[in-house]
Structure 1
Amino acid sequence: MKKEAKHLYKKAIDSLTLSVEIFNRPNDCGRIPGVLIFMDHAFEMLLKASIIAKGGRIKETGAKETIGFSACIRKGFSDASLKFLNEEEVLTLQSLNGLRDAAQHYTLEMSEQHIYFQAQAGLTLFRDITRRVFNINLKTQLPVRVLPLSTSPPMDIQAFFASEITDIKKLLIPNSRKKLEANEKLRALAIMENSIQGNESQPSDKELNNLAEKLSKGSTWVQLFPSVSTLSFTQNGYGPSLDLRISKNEGVPITIVPEGTLGSNVLAIKRVNELDFYNLGRDAIAKKLNHTGPKITAAVQIFNIKNDPECFKQIKIGNSLFDRYSQKTIEKIREGLKEKTIDEIWMEYRTK
Structure 2
Amino acid sequence: MLGGAAAVRVKRNVRLYLERAISSARLAIEHFNRPYEEGRREAVLHFALHAHEMLMKAVLLQRGKSIQRRRESKSISVATALRMLGNQGEKVLTESETLSLTAVSNVRDAAQHSVVMLSEQTLYLQTQTAVTVFDKVLKQEFDVSLADFLPSRVLPVSTDPPTSLELLIDTEVSQVKALLEPGRRKTAEAKARLRPLLAIDLAAAGEERTATPLEVDRATNRLKQGRPWREVMPNLASLTLDASGTGQTYNVRLAKAKDAPPVKFAETEDEAESAAIIREVDNEQRYPFALTDLARLASLTAPQATAFVWKLGLKSDEKCCHTFQHGKSRFPRYSHEALSRMREAAAKFSPVEVWRQYRRQRQQDPGHEGQL
TM-score (norm. length: structure 1): 0.86
- 3-state DSSP class of the match of 1:49? helix
Q: Which amino acid aligns with 2:120?
A: E
> Percent of aligned positions with the same letter in both sequences?
31
Shift of 1:42: 1.7
Contact 1:12–1:42 (8 Å) recurs in 2:
yes
Q: Deviations over 1:20-59 (max 9, x none)?
A: 1221222223221122122222222222222212212222
Match of 1:106 among 108, 114, 118: 114
CA distance in structure 2 between the partners assigned to 1:84 and 1:329 by the alignment: 19
Q: 1:115 aligns with which of 123, 145, 160?
A: 123
Give the alignment partner of residue 24 of structure 2, picking from 9, 12, 15: 15
Q: Match of 2:172?
A: 164
Equivalent residues of 2:235, 2:263 under 8 A apart:
no
2:36 paired residue number = 27
CA contact (8 A) 1:183 1:208 kept: yes
Distance change (3 Å), C-alpha of 1:254 and 1:33? closer
What is the distance in 2 between the residues matched to 1:296 and 1:201?
31
Q: Please, which of 272, 282, 286 is the counterpart of residue 273 of structure 1?
A: 282
Instruction: Show the counterpart of 1:58.
Output: 67
**Matches of 1:116 and 1:295, distance apart in 2:** 48
Residue in structure 2 matched with residue 183 of structure 1 by the alignment: 191
Q: Secondary structure at the match of 2:241?
A: strand
- 1:70: Cα distance to partner? 2.4
Q: Say which SS state the counterpart of residue 233 (structure 1) adopts.
A: strand
* Distance in 1 of aligned mates of 2:270 and 2:91: 45
Aligned position for 1:77: 86
Would you say 1:208 and 2:208 are equivalent positions?
A: no
Would the aligned equivalents of 1:20 and 1:35 in 2 still touch at CA under 8 Å?
Answer: yes
Match of 2:320, as an amino acid? C
In the superposition, relative to structure 1, how do residues 162 and 317 fare at CA in structure 2: closer, same or farther (>3 Å)? farther
Partner residue, 1:300 = 309
Q: Please give the root-mean-square deviation of Cα atoms over the aligned residues, in Å.
A: 3.0
Give the aligned length.
347
Report the 3-state secondary structure (helix = DSSP H, G, I; strand = E; otherwise coil) of the residue aligned with 1:272: coil
SS class of match (1:15): helix
Unaligned runs of 5+ in 1: none
Write the letter of the residue equivalent to 2:29. V
Deviation at 1:219, TM superposition (A): 1.0
Q: 1:309 to 1:142 in 2, by over 3 A?
A: same
Inter-partner Cα distance in structure 2 for 1:149 and 1:296: 47
Return closer, same or farther for 1:237/1:227 CA change in 2, 3 Å cut-off.
Answer: same
Deviation at 1:62, TM superposition (A): 1.7
Distance in structure 1 (CA, Å) of the matches to 2:75 and 2:329: 39
Residue 327 of structure 1 is aligned with which of 314, 333, 336? 336
| Distance in 2 between residues matched to 1:283 and 1:68, nearest whole Å | 21
Q: 1:340 to 1:188 in 2, by over 3 A?
A: closer
Distance 1:128 1:216, change over 3 A: same
The secondary structure found in structure 2 opposite 1:34 is helix
Where 1:189 maps in the other structure, the secondary structure is helix
Distance 1:114 1:313, change over 3 A: same
Letter in 2 for 1:300: V
- Aligned pair in 2 of structure 1 residues 320, 112: CA closer, same or farther (>3 Å)? same
Deviations 1:188-238 (A, max 9, x none): 111111222233333233332322221111011101111011111011123
Structure 1 stretch displaced more, 326-335 or 157-166: 326-335
- The one-letter amino acid of 1:19's match is A
Partner of residue 194 from structure 1, selected from 193, 202, 210? 202
TM-score by length of 2: 0.81
Asked if structure 2 preserves the Cα contact closer than 8 Å seen for 1:17 and 1:146, the reply is no
Q: How does 1:281-296 map to 2 (within 5 A)?
A: 281-289=290-298, 293-296=302-305
Moved more, 42-51 or 338-347: 338-347
Q: Return closer, same or farther for 1:3/1:159 CA change in 2, 3 Å cut-off.
A: same
The CA deviation string for residues 231-251 of structure 1, in whole angstroms up to 9 with x for no partner, is 110111234431111112252
Kindly state the Cα deviation for residue 120 of structure 1 after the two structures are TM-superposed. 1.4
Residue pair 1:223, 1:265 contacting (<8 A) in 2 also: no
Query: Any conservation in 2 of the 1:120–1:243 contact (CA below 8 Å)?
Result: yes
The CA deviation string for residues 303-352 of structure 1, in whole angstroms up to 9 with x for no partner, is 43345443335566667665443333334334434454344333333433
Partners of 2:249 and 2:51 lie apart in 1 by: 20
> What residue is the counterpart of 2:135 in the other structure?
127
Using a 3 Å threshold, how does the CA distance of structure 1 residues 2 and 210 change in structure 2: closer, same or farther?
Answer: same
1:46 aligns with 2:55: yes
In 1, the alpha carbon distance for the partners of 2:341 and 2:65 equals: 18
**8 Å CA contact 1:21, 1:146 repeated in 2:** no
2:366 is matched with which residue? none
Aligned to 2:5: none
Which residue in 2 is equivalent to 1:218?
226
Residue of structure 2 equivalent to 1:348: 357
CA distance in 2, matches of 1:141, 1:52: 22
